[in-house]
Amino acid sequence: MVEYLKTNETVLNMFAGINLLISMGVFLLAAVVVSSIMISDVNEQTYQFAMMRALGFTKQDLIIFIVL
Please list the pLDDT of the chain residue by residue as tens digits (68 residues). Answer: 566 656 667 666 767 778 878 888 999 999 999 999 989 988 888 888 899 999 999 999 988 988 88
Q: What is the pTM of this model?
A: 0.55
- What are the φ and ψ backbone dihedral angles of 59, each rounded to 5 degrees? -60, -35
Please give the pLDDT value at position 8. Answer: 66
pLDDT for 11? 63
CA distances 5 to 8, 10, 22, 23, 46, Å, are 5, 9, 21, 22, 56
Q: Are 43 and 30 in contact (CB under 8 A)?
A: no
- The dihedral region occupied by 13, where left means phi > 0, alpha psi between -120 and 50, and beta the remainder, is alpha
pLDDT at 43: 86
pLDDT computed for residue 1 by the predictor: 59
> Distance between CA 60 and CA 21 in Å, rounded?
38
